[in-house]
Structure 1
Amino acid sequence: MAKTIIHTDNAPAAIGAYSQAVRAGDTVYMSGQIPLDPATMEVVGGGDFRAEAVQVFKNLQAVAEAAGGTLGDIVKVNAYLTDLGNFAIFNEVMAEFMPQPFPARAAIGVASLPKGVQVEAEAVLVLNA
């Protein structure tokens, strides 16, 4: 099975040795997104967790659309938070962006994330499901 690299200028460019997403068959593996503005590559939110989470979902949405899907096609989300006290806010933001039924999800507390952000999320989506 061939793999297809997914890239869009509407999401932050990769800041390492990875692709924004890779499609294998009807499955798209989306790399972790942090709250970077794709135009400036600067962190959004000024330390406001909700603003950071909103930008993360905007970035995931842009990559999903570049792959030919939507956030509704996501089957699994992995969220990484530097403070699990923000878990309820993450849930609220996720519910604003993603339709029901919601995908499977893991939320993991981590010591730190790139560029000092408070949240990162990665996802797997299935097209034509």
Structure 2
Amino acid sequence: MSISLMTAAWKSPLPSGQKFVLIALCDNANDQGECYPSIATIAYKCSMGERTVQGHITALEALGILRREMRRGRSTNYRIYSAHFDAPAESAPPQNPHPTPAKSAPPPPQILPKTPADLAPITISKPS
């Protein structure tokens, strides 16, 4: 387990699924960033499906955060590059999604739709 890699992974601006898979990989990695857990092990640790884990690993590889080396008949070797943890992912939410309106902008209209109760007939039952 590499504490330095896990600390850097926690601070990364990745989306939650990718970050969780990266932390699971860092949990298995040595200080050089090398590990070889199975997809099933990562899926179990992250409480995700194997296909979901594979998708997150592919996304992390595309970002340059890790590289995988497929070995025939054996587990896959992963190499984690902590220098690339700071790059935000394309699927990460934007930092300022809604700009502040101008001070001179009028307030938004407060038009409320009619509720079904307003349109329903009133029924009054008298006791017999």
The normalised TM-score by structure 2 is 0.31
The normalised TM-score by structure 1 is 0.30
Query: Who wins on radius of gyration, i.e. which is larger?
Result: 2
Answer 1 or 2: higher relative contact order, Cα 8 Å, separation at least 6.
1
Larger proportion of strand:
1
